[in-house]
Every structure is written in structure tokens, then in C-alpha cells.
Amino acid sequence: MQKILESYYTAISDLFARKGYKETQVKDVAQKLGISVGSVYKTFTGKKAMYHFGILCGFGYQDRFDNPTYPIDEQDEEEICGLISLRLNNFIKELRKNLTVPDQECWTFKEMLSCIFDKISSVGTGVYISGSCNISLDIIEVVSHVMHDLFQTLYDYFVLYTQRGYLRQVKQLKQHMSLVSSILSWWAMNIRYQTAPDFTIDRENAKDIALDTIMHAYVKNVNLID
């Protein structure tokens, strides 16, 4: 993706994530980039086109804009939903494959948490924009469905590691999974947009905090935590 579009993506994703679709105006994008409103319209046909651009890039489809025709127009939302579904369902499939392998080949608990964190982080901007903008029910439905599958995958792993004796037994495990998924989501995704703009933390440090919190809460023998 061209450098100018990378700058647009940074500005667009931050504005839509923090302010939502209705409160974000083309002039806000121009101001954030230090350019004129006219220059923005030379790059995008309007706000909806920028929203579609931000969503697709947020889900890892930057390559669709490697050689764009300017100004970039709105994208087909049915196609967007299909692309998002493909990306997220492939993530779930990859995450679930270790549930069926022999014990000695399965991820460790920490490896599993790390992989889920990385997956959430890699699509976090797309997920966050789709929720904060709340203008496409079809996109929101696709994201919500797959996030439910992610929750179930996390639950299944906790059951597996508890049966193996690595995690302590807890009552109301599904309620605990709400807490665990919130911790992972906060540090992998939400922290980018729910803190002051000048607050920064790199992804690896954010991951360390999330995994350390979860592991000390649920691992039966703390001496096994590296």
C-alpha cells in the first residue's frame, strides 16, 4: 500500500474508532493529516469510501489498495462481509486445530493464549471500527458471529487444560471466559482507542501483561509459569 494511503489509514482508523462514523467528518481527516479538504476528496470520494477503506485495511486487506484508482470509491458491502468472514473463519479454524491433536503435540496454555492474542491484535482495528461506527448491520453481524466462535474456542481450551490438570477448577466457567476474553481484547485491541491518544505501549508488552494476568489467575501451580 502506498505511503500516502498508510497515512490515511492511520488517521481514518483512529478517528472512526474514537469518534464513531457520525461524529467523524471529512474535515477531521484533513485536519489530522494537515492537508486541505479538497486534497482528501482527490483521494476518496467521501466518508463512506474512507470507512470501507478503513474496515478492509483493519482486517488485513491492505493489498487491495496497492494500485488504486483515485479517488477511491465505496466498496461493495456484500464483498466486504465475505472477505471479513473468510479472514476471521480462517483464524478460528487455525486456533481450533490444536484441540484435536495428541497431548504432546498440543500448544501449551501460554502458547494458546499468545496465539489468540495475536489473532485479535491483527484484526483489532477492523473489529473496533465496525463496532464503534455501527453503520453496517451486515458487517457487525459477521464480526459478532465469529467473535462468538472465538469465545467458544477459548472456552474449549480452558476445559481441555483443566481436564489435564494444568488449570484450577472454577465454577461458572463461561462467566470466567467473559473475563478472560475481555482481558485479551482490551490489551490486544481496545487499549489503542480507549486510552489517551498520547498513551503508548508496544504489542509485546501489552501481551505480557494480558498473559501474566490470566496465567496467575488460573494456572494451578504458579511454579509452572515461566
Contact between 64 and 121 (Cβ < 8 Å): no
Percentage of residues of the chain with pLDDT beyond 70: 97
Question: Is residue 105 very low, low, confident or very high in pLDDT (cuts 50, 70, 90)?
Answer: confident
Q: What is the mean pLDDT of residues 183-193?
A: 91
198 phi and psi angles, rounded to 5 deg: -90, 0
> What is the chain's Cα-based Rg?
20
Q: Looking at residue 134, what is its pLDDT?
A: 76
Q: What is the mean pLDDT of residues 89-112?
A: 89
Q: Looking at residue 200, what is its pLDDT?
A: 82
Q: Which residues contact 60 (CB under 8 A, 6 or more apart)?
A: 87, 122, 123, 126
Q: What is the mean pLDDT of the chain?
A: 92
Q: Looking at residue 145, what is its pLDDT?
A: 92
Q: Where do you find CATH 1.10.357.10 in the chain?
A: 77-224
Contact between 53 and 8 (Cβ < 8 Å): yes
Q: Where do you find CATH 1.10.10.60 in the chain?
A: 3-65
Q: What angle do CA 69, 88, 166 make, to 5 degrees?
A: 150
Q: Looking at residue 208, what is its pLDDT?
A: 96
pTM of the model: 0.91
Q: Looking at residue 195, what is its pLDDT?
A: 76
Among the four given CATH numbers 1.10.357.10, 2.60.200.30, 3.40.50.2000, 3.90.550.10, the one describing domain 77-224: 1.10.357.10
Question: Is residue 157 very low, low, confident or very high in pLDDT (cuts 50, 70, 90)?
Answer: very high
Q: How many residues does the chain have?
A: 226
Q: What is the mean pLDDT of residues 203-213?
A: 95
CATH class for the region spanning 3-65 = mainly alpha
Contact between 155 and 177 (Cβ < 8 Å): yes
Give residue-wise pLDDT tens across range 36-76: 999 999 999 999 999 999 999 999 999 999 999 999 999 99
Q: Looking at residue 119, what is its pLDDT?
A: 94
Q: What is the mean pLDDT of residues 82-108?
A: 90
In 3-state terms, what secondary structure has residue 44?
strand
> What span, in angstroms and rounded, lies between the C-alpha atoms of 143 and 130?
8
Is the dihedral angle over the CA atoms 26, 29, 30, 32 positive or is it negative? positive
Q: What is the mean pLDDT of residues 198-202?
A: 83
